[in-house]
Amino acid sequence: MAGAQGNPTDQVGLVFVSHSALIAAGLVELARQMAPTVTLVAAGGRDDGGIGTSFDLIVAGIAEADRGAGAVVLCDLGSAILTAETALDFLDDAVRPRVQIADAPLVEGGVAAAVAAEIGGDLAAVVAAAESARSTPPSADDASGAAEPERSEVSRTVILRNRDGLHARPAADFVKLASTFDAPVSVNGRDAHSLLGIMSLGLTRGMSVEISGPDERSRAAVDALADLIETGFGEE
């Protein structure tokens, strides 16, 4: 199956189903920049290479993506979802609970899901990351369920230095680092754990970025994330 890459058995794999083989392969290429260890499988087009979807390609893609932790399937158009649902119906009873179709846009949801899988999210977490692309990215306050807080007690403001700003790859690196800390952190008011939330800020070179947390629990995370931005993500 084109577009696959090996991964540890505890990572969720992804299958991208598109009517176009080129679109599916291109999305694998994009997502791999942010999730190099996740198994990403392109299942686009018909068996004969034409425009459409293939039951056989999807079934094979699921088998390749599921290394034991499960697989998430993302689709582009309605008929792709129907074909994917049929493929799930034909899976073994032992395998079917480990495979889910995400109700998410293919590109945004696929990128978010890939990052969630890369940082070790389970099946439910990867699906949730994909489906977060359907709604407005949460703020840090929404994500924690807290009421409107006073000014954060821990905060650092740094200048974004990398040439292309906080685009997909550095944003993914940022989220991966944030996920290593068990503390609430925000980036200009957005949850630092939300890839789509951070990318929605449209941060470009030269802009100020405020990394903040509500108390001392967040200090280590704030400092580490601010330091990462100050390095320019290795892109200078």
Nearest one of 99, 63, 68 to 43, comparing CA atoms:
63
Alpha helices (H) along 37-150 = 55-65, 78-89, 106-118, 123-131, 140-144
Annotated catalytic, 167?
no
Q: Is 87 helix (H, G, I), strand (E, B) or coil?
A: helix
Nearest one of 178, 202, 207, 73 to 130, comparing CA atoms:
73
Considering the candidates 19, 67, 190, 193, report the single residue annotated as catalytic: 19
Rounded to an integer, what distance in angstroms lies between the CA atom of residue 204 and that of residue 71? 34
What DSSP element (H or E) covers 159?
A: strand 154-159
Positions annotated as catalytic residues are 19
